[in-house]
């Protein structure tokens, strides 16, 4: 059955002005994380997160392939039929490149735990992985992908060029959502996410979420949740509170709404 939509009638915006939006996404969707994906989806639904995206990894760490005709593939199709937006989220999610630049080595080491798959790929290799993943995901779900999100939101020059050439409709990083083919920004928007690798990172992300959930400055806010969040009750409570608080003043929306907003503004 389709997702039930829950709109807040008290949210309004001036005529001709796009509303404030809240975008929700579940990352690292794959067979290995199926149980946690269920828990995250239920947690979002319970606090009014009735529209969401799933960021799907075709073969997580080369250990969890999505197989056409499998039970998990059927679940992806069912979610897509219910209105879940499907993003391709890398191919393996694993960074197996020896980075040439010092800056990229620092990003790979400090911004992610070996998961910035598309940070160091060549144009050719990025194109191959994008096209393989897109074919699989579109075959499985029966719908076109909404867009592409690089693992850990890290893109190298090769990845950005490949996205533009492939005419991927939408991509996002830590600070914006954009149309790669036109390099046109659809929303300048921070993403709120939680880190659970160390106690220090978790404490920091909980503090950031507490501030962000009352942040009035951005028209669009994004929340990204990960399977690892399920193992930390404090994080799950923070996710629920953040979504519930933000949706009081924002419409829980689809990423595709950003394209409609841009078309209205042009």
Digit-coded pLDDT (tens) for 134-145: 999 999 999 999
> Strand ranges (DSSP E) for 161-218?
171-172, 176-179, 184-188, 191-193
Cβ atoms of 178 and 185 within 8 Å: the answer is: yes
CB 87 within 8 A of CB 55: yes
Q: What is the pTM of this model?
A: 0.90
- The answer on pLDDT for 50 being more than 70 is yes
Whether 57 contacts 28, CB under 8 Å:
yes
Q: How buried is residue 25: exposed, middle or buried, by Cβ count under 10 Å (0-12/13-18/19+)?
A: buried
Asked whether the predicted pLDDT for residue 112 surpasses 60, the reply is no
**Residue-level pLDDT at 17:** 81
pLDDT, one tens digit per residue, over 5-21 is 445 544 555 556 889 99
User: DSSP code of 48?
Assistant: T
Task: Dump pLDDT digits (tens) for 203-237.
Answer: 999 999 999 998 888 999 999 999 999 999 999 99
Q: Tokens 């319970």, residue?
A: 46
Reported as a single tens digit per residue, the pLDDT across 57-74 is 999 999 999 999 999 999
Collapsed DSSP state (helix, strand, coil) of residue 204: helix
Question: Over the chain, what is the mean pLDDT?
Answer: 89
């Amino acid at each position: 059955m389709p997702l039930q939509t829950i709109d807040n009638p008290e949210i309004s915006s001036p005529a001709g002005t796009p509303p404030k939006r809240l975008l929700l996404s579940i990352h690292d969707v794959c067979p290995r994380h199926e149980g946690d994906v269920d828990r995250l989806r239920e947690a979002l639904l319970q606090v009014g997160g009735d529209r969401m995206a799933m960021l799907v990894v075709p073969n997580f760490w080369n250990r969890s392939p999505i197989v056409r005709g499998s039970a998990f593939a059927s679940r992806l199709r069912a979610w897509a039929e219910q209105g879940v937006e499907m993003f391709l989220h890398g191919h393996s999610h694993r960074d197996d490149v020896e980075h040439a630049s010092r800056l990229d080595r620092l990003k790979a080491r400090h911004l992610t735990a070996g998961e910035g798959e598309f940070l160091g790929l060549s144009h050719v290799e990025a194109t191959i992985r994008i096209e393989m993943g897109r074919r699989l995901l579109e075959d499985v779900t029966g719908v076109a992908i909404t867009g592409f999100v690089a693992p850990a939101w890290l893109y190298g020059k090769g990845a950005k060029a490949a996205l533009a050439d492939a005419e991927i409709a939408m991509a996002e990083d830590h600070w914006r959502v954009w149309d790669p083919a036109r390099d046109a920004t659809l929303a300048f928007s921070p993403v709120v996410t939680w880190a659970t690798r160390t106690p220090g990172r978790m404490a920091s992300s909980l503090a950031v979420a507490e501030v962000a959930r009352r942040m009035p400055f951005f028209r669009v806010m994004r929340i990204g949740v990960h399977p690892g969040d399920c193992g930390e009750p404090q994080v799950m409570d923070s996710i629920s509170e953040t979504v519930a608080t933000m949706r009081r003043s924002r419409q829980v929306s689809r990423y595709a709404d950003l394209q409609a907003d841009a078309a209205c503004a042009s």
